[in-house]
């Protein structure tokens, strides 16, 4: 790691102020990605602003809306009984991130701020039309995700909470890399009445995206059969040592069918 100073402010306002004093100051949430990045010297912050004392740890469900504080860990989300009952797809997603050690420290706000193209939460956020709440504004998921590791966040802007409209039915399926547990392909399906939304993570070079053809078919008939014939073009999908683009295209179909089957049965 390069040299940095360490600050642990007690409020979000103080954290924003510290981040504002210096262009190369960076916020630290759980650090499950940021600390490895520092170790590899891929980033050189002058100051690390630890958000762990600022609160932002809460899970609130009120009238069909789930609000999760940005510093809430994956483990806390996965173990929350109310989320498991009312928003099963998100509960399962949180429980499949990394391993227990990572889930005990990694946070939803940190993951969304990083926007790793293989991260899970972007799929849930985009499929449900979630709102990313920062200390200065509210950002719709559709506007928030702007490509791999790229978001609408401005320098020094801190995510404080994420609001999810809870779907009537939801499910997540991922084909996980057996070592890293990152999604090689992850599919989140959310059903609101006759409106069905499908978001894919782990597959595209541009990060998370919605699958229009599947959404149209599922909105007309919410069953795995409805999307059985839909072929996803491999253009713009990732190719790496774990999977080729055509393989990922195939996996999208398989994972989507499994997710729909699970949502139907739930």
Partner 1 sequence: MPDTNFEQPQTPAATPLAMTLHVNGRDHLMALDPRTTLLDALREHLGLTGTKVGCNHGTCGACTVHIDGRRHLACLVLAAAAQRRNIGTIEGLAGPDGALHPMQAAFVAHDALQCGYCTPGQIMSAVACVAEGHTGSDAEIREYMSGNLCRCGAYPNIVAAVREVAANAQQRS
Hey, which residues between 30 and 49 contact partner 1 (CB under 8 A)? 31-32, 35-36, 38-41, 48
d(CA 51, CA 131): 21
Task: Identify the DSSP state of 163.
Answer: E
Closer CB to partner 1, 78 or 217, in the complex = 78
Report the distance separating Cα 138 and Cα 91, nearest Å: 24
CB of 105 vs partner 1, minimal distance in Å: 6
| Of 22, 50, 135, 168, the one binding partner 1 by CB under 8 A | 50
> Mask 99-138, x = binds partner 1 (CB under 8 A)?
xxxx-xx---------------------------------
Q: How far is the CB of 91 from partner 1 (least distance, A)?
A: 15
Nearer to partner 1, 73 or 128 (CB): 73
The residue among 53 and 138 lying less far from partner 1, judged by its C-beta, is 53
Per-residue contact string for residues 13-32; x = within reach of partner 1 by CB under 8 A? ---------------x--xx
Report in angstroms how near the CB of residue 169 gets to partner 1 at its nearest: 25
Please state the closest distance from residue 44 (CB atom) to partner 1, in A.
10
Spatial CB neighbours of 25, under 8 Å, sequence gap ≥ 6: 18, 19, 45, 46, 47, 48, 49, 156
What angle, rounded to 10 degrees, do the helices at 121-128 and 88-95 form?
A: 160
Site string for partner 1, 58-77 (x = CB under 8 A): -----------------x--
Q: Using CA atoms, how far apart are residues 151 and 240, in angstroms rounded to an integer?
A: 23
Q: Which bin fits 147, alpha (ψ -120 to 50), beta or left (φ > 0)? A: left
* Closer of 6 and 235 to partner 1 (Cβ): 6
* Choice between 8 and 250, CB closer to partner 1: 8
Q: State how far Cα 29 lies from the chain centre.
A: 15
> Which CB, 101 or 150, lies closer to partner 1?
101
Token duo for residue 182: 């990152």
Note the helical H segments in the chain: 12-20, 34-39, 74-78, 81-86, 88-95, 100-103, 108-114, 121-128, 141-144, 212-220, 245-265
Q: Round to whole Å and give the CA distance between 159 and 12.
A: 10
Which is nearer to partner 1, 39 or 63 (by Cβ)?
Answer: 39
What distance in Å separates the CA atoms of residue 7 and residue 51, rounded to the nearest whole number?
A: 9
Which residues would be at the binding site for partner 1 (CB under 8 A)? 1-6, 8, 28, 31-32, 35-36, 38-41, 48, 50, 52, 75, 98-102, 104-105, 179-181
């Amino acid at each position: 790691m390069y040299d940095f100073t360490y600050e642990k402010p007690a409020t979000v306002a103080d954290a924003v102020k510290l981040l504002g004093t210096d262009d190369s100051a960076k916020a630290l949430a759980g650090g499950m990605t940021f600390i490895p990045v520092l170790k590899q010297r891929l980033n050189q912050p002058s100051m690390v602003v630890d958000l762990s004392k600022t609160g932002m740890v809460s899970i609130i469900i009120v009238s069909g809306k789930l609000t999760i504080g940005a510093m809430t860990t994956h483990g806390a989300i996965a173990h929350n009984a109310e989320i498991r009952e009312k928003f099963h797809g998100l509960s399962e997603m949180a429980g499949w991130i990394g391993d227990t050690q990572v889930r005990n420290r990694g946070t939803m706000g940190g993951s969304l701020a990083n926007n790793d193209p293989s991260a899970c939460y972007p799929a849930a956020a985009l499929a449900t039309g979630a709102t990313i709440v920062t200390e200065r504004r509210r950002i719709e998921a559709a506007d928030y995700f702007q490509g791999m590791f790229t978001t609408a966040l401005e320098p020094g802007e801190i995510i404080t909470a994420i609001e999810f409209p809870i779907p009537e039915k939801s499910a997540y399926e991922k084909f996980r890399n057996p070592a890293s547990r990152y999604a090689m392909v992850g599919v989140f399906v959310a059903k609101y009445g006759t409106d069905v939304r499908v978001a894919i993570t782990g597959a595209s070079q541009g990060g998370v995206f919605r699958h229009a053809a599947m959404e149209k078919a599922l909105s007309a008939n919410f069953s795995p059969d409805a999307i059985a014939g839909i072929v996803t073009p491999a253009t713009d999908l990732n190719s790496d040592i774990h999977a080729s683009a055509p393989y990922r295209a195939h996996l999208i179909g398989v994972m989507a069918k499994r997710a729909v089957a699970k949502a139907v049965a739930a």
